Amino acid sequence: MSASLHELIDAFAAARAAFLATPDDDDNPAEWDAYCKVEDAIINYPCQTIEGARLKARFFLDNPQPHETLRNCVNDDDGWALDRFLRSLLGEVRS
């Protein structure tokens, strides 16, 4: 069973707190990987209701780092984060 959007948002808060608690001299902490993984899960989460789309949009508007990810991040496997986000608002599941 997949996590709900609310559960993913809670997991993001926990992952962010864990990452921020890592020592500054750790160049690639596992906490960063966990943070990125849950952020990506939220980006790709397919909204099925207008309430879900509103919750998701509000999350990105209220959180500067994930908002920055939408605006600037692209990777070879998945393409632009913003494109994936917009498709997810339409309820599309990433293949």
* Cα gap 8→23, rounded to integer Å: 25
Between the alpha carbon of residue 79 and those of residues 36, 42, 44, 58, the distances in Å are 15, 15, 12, 23
pLDDT in tens, the chain (95 residues): 467 999 999 999 999 999 999 888 777 789 999 999 999 999 999 999 999 999 999 999 999 999 999 999 888 788 899 999 999 999 987 65
Burial class of residue 61 (count of CB atoms within 10 Å of its CB; 0-12, 13-18, 19+): exposed
| pTM for the predicted model, two decimal places | 0.88
